[in-house]
Structure 1
Amino acid sequence: MKTYEFDAKSLVIETFNTLSHFAGVVLGIVFLTLMINKSLLIGSKNLPSFIVYGAFFILMFLTSTIYHATFNKKIKAFARIFDHTAIFLFIAGSYTPVITSIFSGNMRILLLCSIWLLALGGTIFKIITHNSYDKYKKISVILYIAMGWFAIIIFKPLLLEKSVKFIILLVLGGLLYTVGTIFYKSKNPVYHIVWHFFVLGAAIIHFFSYYFYLIS
């Protein structure tokens, strides 16, 4: 079995990385359960979109957990592909209940197709470039941020349809994700832990915005 050689510091760092996003997996399961229960209780027609969001919430944190938890070289390289592509899928999954709740008809279809095609494109990009991770890291970050702020396109309808509190939480979560990429880009492995907590915090904030202001 080929394994990475970890010193004590690296082992501690990877342990924190693993545990931080395993917490995301656990929270994702709890959040998905809460959203399903509330949607069923109030008879929300948008339940499928919240299931999509919750499923990809769990998937993103799960792939990250597996990637950081393994010491097998081949498995780790393979897991990194899923870790990175899951980010694109989670972004699209996060937009799905927002778009579904606000738009209808052709506009809903157009926006959903757009965000999921972007996710597909990002996924293909990461698969094609997985052997040149460092070379394309900056491009990946730009793609993550650009797709994350896709919300600017639908900002006016958001203001008209949803409460100010929902908008504030949505923007706050987006800012946390964006600021977190500063640490993601760093070559210092300690900063990757910081990135993980930014992601976890942003994901939690977005969940609360959905649970309290979107499921209605």
Structure 2
Amino acid sequence: MYKGGVVDASVRPRLRGRLHQVAFVASIPAGGVVVAAATTVEARVAAAVYALSLVALYGASGAYHWLRVESHKKRVLRRIDHSMIYVLIAGTTTPVALLALDGGWAVAVVATVWVGALSGVALKVVAKSVGGVAGSALYIVLGWAVLLALPQLVRGLSDGQLGLLLAGGALYTVGAVVLLRRRPDPLPAVFGYHELWHCFVVVAGICHYVLIFQLGRAA
């Protein structure tokens, strides 16, 4: 709704959450495909962890942005939604590390990222607020933690696979900046900055999905 040519901040964009609701539905069969494509037990387990984290992220986001519930329940859904970002980061890193890195490095990266993710979830659950710059910084640092093993990744991934990994990370990072700054905000009543953030999440997720599919199939 517009007031004097300015969008009323209390009005939700009409497309709020729609993209992640569609992504949730798509992520279920897509998760099955990426697990089925894996050629070893280790690759299937790693792909299953990733697939479950993908479904959890889109499911939590879709529910939070769609369900109309009391304010206290909405706050709970918001914490779950934000917590699942940590879970997806760790879930995405798991198959990349296990299938592209040697044993010691793989274990170290997976352990580091999951400890960080679970710590982030705990903060979201117990803290009154872990958002804004601090929240975005935690997501970005954890998301790029896999680069601690960059020399090993360069050896374990093809140029195209490394490009997919970096492109996905860059898209997530740009999206986080858009969310933090709340702009650009192209069509606030229909498709605003938050919807733009969701677009970045989906496109970044596609990059990483293709990467993990390739790694599992070649395992």
**TM-score bracket, shorter-length normalisation:** 0.7 to 0.9
The residue aligned with 2:3 is none
Aligned-residue offset at 1:186:
3.1
The residue aligned with 1:85 is 83
Aligned-residue offset at 1:151:
2.1
Q: Which amino acid aligns with 2:152?
A: P
Q: CA separation in 2, counterparts of 1:86 and 1:199?
A: 13
The residue aligned with 1:158 is 153
Question: Gapped runs of 5+ residues in structure 2?
Answer: 1-7
Report if aligned partners of 1:98, 1:214 keep a CA contact under 8 Å in 2.
no
Q: Which amino acid aligns with 1:31?
A: A
Question: Gapped runs of 5+ residues in structure 1?
Answer: 1-6
Identity of paired residues, percent?
Answer: 27
Q: CA separation in 2, counterparts of 1:78 and 1:207?
A: 28
Q: Give aligned pairs, total.
A: 203
Q: Which amino acid aligns with 1:172?
A: A
Q: Which amino acid aligns with 2:57?
A: M
Report if aligned partners of 1:56, 1:93 keep a CA contact under 8 Å in 2.
yes
Q: Trace 1:22-61 onto structure 2 (pairs within 5 A).
A: 22-39=21-38, 42-43=39-40, 45-61=42-58
Deviations 1:183-208 (A, max 9, x none): 21134662011001110110011101
Aligned-residue offset at 1:9:
7.9
The residue aligned with 2:198 is 196
Higher relative contact order (CA 8 A, sep 6+): 2
Q: Which amino acid aligns with 1:116?
A: W
TM-score computed with the length of structure 1 as normaliser: 0.86
Kindly indicate which of the two structures has a greater share of residues assigned to helix: 1
Aligned-residue offset at 1:78:
0.9
Report if aligned partners of 2:99, 2:215 keep a CA contact under 8 Å in 1.
no
- 4+ runs of 1 displaced by more than 2 Å? 7-11, 42-45, 102-111, 186-189, 212-215
Q: CA separation in 2, counterparts of 1:157 and 1:104?
A: 8
- Choose from 112, 126, 135 the match for 2:124: 126
